[in-house]
Amino acid sequence: MRRQRGFMLIEMVIVLLIIGILINIWLPNYIQIRKKAQAARIAGDYLMIRDAATMYYSQHGQWPDNSDWGVAPVGIDNYLPLGFSWDLRPSLDIRYAWENLGLGDGRGWSEYGVTGVSVYSGDNGLLKAIRDVYSGRAIYARGFDGTGRLILIVQAAGGTAGARTGG
C-alpha cells in the first residue's frame, strides 16, 4: 500500500477550528487594547486643548467662544502645537468642539456654566474607553442617531475642575 500525502479532511477541520477559537479569544482583547490606546491619545489632545484654553484665558480674561465640530475656536490655535487637528477623521471617528456654556463671558461667572472640550463620535465604544481613561469631570450625551458626545470639562461654575462625574 502507498501512503497518502497531505492532510485528511478531518485534520484540516480540526486545524481550522483551533484557529477560529484562538481568533475568538484574541480579537476582543485586541479591539479593547486598540480603543484604550485611541482613548489615551484623545485624553492627551484634551490636555493640550485645556492648557491652550487656560493660556488663552490668562491673556484675555475670558474663555474662548464656542466652536463648531472639527473647528478650533478663534485665537486658540496660537497656543496649540503646529498642525494640531480638531477633526481626526478618517483615521478616527472623532471631532472636537470647544464649549463655553456661560463661563468667562465678560459678565462674571454663571452659576451653572461649564467650559470644556466636546468629543463627538459615532463609536460609542470609543467614547466609553475615553471615559475610562480620562480622570477628570465628564458629561456624556447620546444622540438619537446613535452618535455620542462626551464633554471633558475644563472649568465648571464656582471654579471647580478635575473631580470625576458622569456615567
Q: Above 50 in pLDDT, residue 151?
A: yes
Provide the 10 A C-beta neighbour count for residue 136: 18
Phi, psi for 54 (deg, rounded to 5): -65, -40
Residue with grid cell 468629543, as numbered in its chain: 119
Angstrom distances, CA of residue 118 to CA of 9, 107, 136: 55, 23, 13
pLDDT in tens, 123-133: 888 888 888 88
Instruction: For residue 162, name the pLDDT band (cuts at 50, 70, 90).
Output: very low
Instruction: Name the residue with higher pLDDT: 25 or 157.
Output: 25
Question: Are the beta carbons of 121 and 114 closer than 8 angstroms?
Answer: no
How far is residue 25 CA from its own chain's centroid? Answer: 26
pLDDT in tens, 23-51: 888 888 888 899 999 999 999 999 999 99
Dihedral, CA of residue 65, residue 71, residue 75 and residue 76, to nearest 10: 90
Sign of CA dihedral 69, 75, 80, 83: positive
Q: Above 60 in pLDDT, residue 167?
A: no
Q: What is the rounded average pLDDT for all residues in the chain?
A: 82
Q: Above 50 in pLDDT, residue 164?
A: no
How many residues in total does the chain contain? Answer: 167
